Amino acid sequence: MRTTAIIIGAGHAGLAMSRCLTEYAIDHVVFERGEVANSWKTERWDSLQLLTPNWMSRLPGYGYQGDDPDGYRTMPETIAFLEHYAEVSAAPIQTHTAVTSVRRCDDGYAVVTNRGDWHCRAIVLASGACNIASVPAFAEAMPSTVATLTSMAYRNPDQLEEGGVLVVGASASGIQIADEIHRSGRPVTLSVGEHVRAPRLYRGRDIQWWMEVAGIFDERYDNLENLARARRLPSIQLVGSATRRTLDLNALTDLGVKLVGRVVGISGGKAQFSGSLRNVCTLADLKMDRLLDTIDAWATTNGFDGEIDPPHRFPSTQVDASPPLGIDLQSGEIRTVVWATGYRPDYSWLDVPVFDLRGRVRHDGGVVDSPGMYIIGLPVLRCRRSTFIDGAGNDARYLSAHLASYLDNGNAMPESVRQRLLDRHRASDWHSNRHLYGTGVLL
Ligand SMILES: Cc1cc2nc3c(=O)[nH]c(=O)nc-3n(C[C@H](O)[C@H](O)[C@H](O)COP(=O)(O)OP(=O)(O)OC[C@H]3O[C@@H](n4cnc5c(N)ncnc54)[C@H](O)[C@@H]3O)c2cc1C
């Protein structure tokens, strides 16, 4: 079977891309191995609420319509939001269709699925950035008496045996899971490596509102001092909740969660922790203060100071004078280990030589190093906003224009089209009526 373009994945990024290709009247098909919003349906824990407020979900021709723009979607709400988007966009999705191979051929790509073979001229990889839970290799040395699971397999505390739990990783997933498990009555030890600390609310506004108005989300990939690092940055320690609470390490300590350093190895039935706990916490505190300095400067410059709460700073992260450097995993104190150590994409089906030495797809802002191939839905793809649902709109607009131009010309986007797109980007609803400030802050 033949079509002009194929999109792999019906998450928000694939749907945004489909909507844009429809606007260009480009014949295409979206292949989805599960159902629309498959990741949200099958790979997240039950109590998860988005850490981005409802207003931060603007997609091409679609956005939040309810009366709680500052609230945070539950999983069922997130799924319903994306299912409705697929429906109103009339996206040409083939569900339960897994792509098992993509190869380059003379005039495009040969795509093999579990339901037949296809040919297309252009292809969009929207298969997600978080397909596999990253777990350190030394996890294999875990004693068999300790149950293990990843943040992708975790659903709720009822899955776990009674007894102590070691949660490894203190970014958004780790702190949320540690909080929930500890509240279930199981004593939690949280292993803390590099993390990004931020309050939920600052001076009465959501931290992400501040990052939006201060222009931080709009920092472009080709302007960042250290793009590789920006793309590797752990998720911000935030939780979405009705009370809009801040869930940081101090809040967890107050609950009774014990903080230890990063797990650096497992040997002889013992987990070893790095001695760097104090340092990583001090660094995260320092970077948070730098972010708040940027926000305060923006507020002053833009005449907000009289209208909102005054600037203030949060207490430093409290760390024990000498936290333990190891724990005996065979003593019975720890019954379960939850690896919340991040996620990575799965391109095992991509048989095109576009990978760098670390196995990442080589691309320039989503334009892959193979003619007519695009990628969307990766952190900081074209700007910091790309990391979130909210970023896929602009990324899809740019990449669909590039793709349309490729189909017309068989080569790169002409300067006139590029300029028109940039103008449209600047004039689009969420880029108007505000002044950019404070770009360059390193999160
Ligand atoms: C725990 C967690 C919490 C997050 N919270 C937020 C948040 O609060 N706010 C926010 O904006 N972002 C959040 N994100 C980040 C981001 O929005 C998600 O990672 C999002 O799911 C990425 O969207 P996507 O469309 O790129 O990928 P996905 O939603 O993962 O969609 C990719 C789709 O491709 C399909 N697929 C993959 N391989 C194949 C194949 N070979 N053949 C066919 N189909 C395939 C998958 O089934 C999936 O449906 C979170 C991410 C995680 C992991």
What are 324-339's pLDDT values in tens digits?
Answer: 999 999 999 999 999 9
Q: Residue 133, SS3?
A: strand
Q: What span, in angstroms and rounded, lies between the C-alpha atoms of 202 and 208?
A: 10
Pocket flag, ligand 1, residue 169 (CB < 6 Å): no
Q: How confident is residue 106, by pLDDT bands cut at 50, 70 and 90?
A: confident
- Residue 294 has, within 13 A of its CA and on its CB side, a CA count of 22
Ligand 1 centroid to 381 CA: how many Å? 14
Q: What span, in angstroms and rounded, lies between the C-alpha atoms of 140 and 204?
A: 46
Continuous H helices in 99-192? 172-183
The pLDDT of residue 438: 36
Position 56 pLDDT exceeds 60: yes
Nearest atom within ligand 1 for CA of residue 346: 38
The pLDDT of residue 431: 39
Pocket flag, ligand 1, residue 406 (CB < 6 Å): no
Ligand 1 centroid to 209 CA: how many Å? 23
Pocket flag, ligand 1, residue 36 (CB < 6 Å): no
Ligand 1 centroid to 14 CA: how many Å? 10
Mean pLDDT for the stretch of residues 405-422: 67
Pocket flag, ligand 1, residue 44 (CB < 6 Å): yes
The pLDDT of residue 415: 59
pTM of the model: 0.93
Pocket flag, ligand 1, residue 395 (CB < 6 Å): no
Position 428 pLDDT exceeds 50: no
Pocket flag, ligand 1, residue 31 (CB < 6 Å): yes
Q: How confident is the prediction for the chain on average, in pLDDT?
A: 93
pLDDT above 90 coverage of the chain, percent: 91
Q: At what angle do helices 12-23 and 75-89 cross, to 10 degrees?
A: 20
Q: How confident is residue 422, by pLDDT bands cut at 50, 70 and 90?
A: low
Mean pLDDT for the stretch of residues 109-125: 98
Mean pLDDT for the stretch of residues 143-147: 96
Out of 7, 8, 39, 389, give the residue to mutate to test ligand 1, the one with the largest number of ligand atoms within 8 Å of its CB. Answer: 39
Out of 127, 236, 382, give the residue to mutate to test ligand 1, the one with the largest number of ligand atoms within 8 Å of its CB. Answer: 127
76 or 420, greater pLDDT: 76
Q: What span, in angstroms and rounded, lies between the C-alpha atoms of 421 and 367?
A: 15
Ligand 1 centroid to 127 CA: how many Å? 7
Which protein residue's CA is at the shortest distance from atom 27 of ligand 1?
128
Which protein residue's CA is at the shortest distance from atom 12 of ligand 1?
388
Question: Residue 240 corresponds to which amino acid?
Answer: G
Position 425 pLDDT exceeds 90: no
Question: Residue 142 corresponds to which amino acid?
Answer: M
Q: What span, in angstroms and rounded, lies between the C-alpha atoms of 125 and 375?
A: 5
The pLDDT of residue 409: 79
Ligand 1 centroid to 352 CA: how many Å? 22
Pocket flag, ligand 1, residue 174 (CB < 6 Å): no
Position 414 pLDDT exceeds 90: no
In sequence order, the β-bridge partners of residue 116 are: 113
Task: Give tens-digit pLDDT for 148-182.
Answer: 999 999 999 999 999 999 999 999 999 999 999 99
The pLDDT of residue 416: 60
Position 427 pLDDT exceeds 70: no
Pocket flag, ligand 1, residue 389 (CB < 6 Å): yes
The pLDDT of residue 439: 40
Q: What span, in angstroms and rounded, lies between the C-alpha atoms of 96 and 392?
A: 23
| Phi, psi torsion values for 122, nearest 5 degrees | -130, 150
C-alpha radius of gyration, the chain, whole number? 23
pLDDT above 70 coverage of the chain, percent: 92
Ligand 1 centroid to 70 CA: how many Å? 22
Position 384 pLDDT exceeds 80: yes
Task: Give tens-digit pLDDT for 265-279.
Answer: 999 999 999 999 999
Pocket flag, ligand 1, residue 388 (CB < 6 Å): yes
Pocket flag, ligand 1, residue 127 (CB < 6 Å): yes
Ligand 1 centroid to 304 CA: how many Å? 36
Position 430 pLDDT exceeds 70: no
Pocket flag, ligand 1, residue 236 (CB < 6 Å): no
Nearest atom within ligand 1 for CA of residue 34: 47
Position 410 pLDDT exceeds 80: no
Q: How confident is residue 12, by pLDDT bands cut at 50, 70 and 90?
A: very high
Pick from 431, 425, 430: nearest CA to 69: 430
Task: Give tens-digit pLDDT for 368-378.
Answer: 999 999 999 99
Mean pLDDT for the stretch of residues 352-363: 96
Which protein residue's CA is at the shortest distance from atom 39 of ligand 1?
127
Which protein residue's CA is at the shortest distance from atom 33 of ligand 1?
9
Ligand 1 centroid to 129 CA: how many Å? 6
Position 435 pLDDT exceeds 60: no
Out of 173, 175, 389, 395, give the residue to mutate to test ligand 1, the one with the largest number of ligand atoms within 8 Å of its CB. Answer: 389
Which of 248-257, 398-407, 431-440 shows the lowest per-residue confidence on average (mean pLDDT)?
A: 431-440
Ligand 1 centroid to 39 CA: how many Å? 5
Mean pLDDT for the stretch of residues 89-111: 97
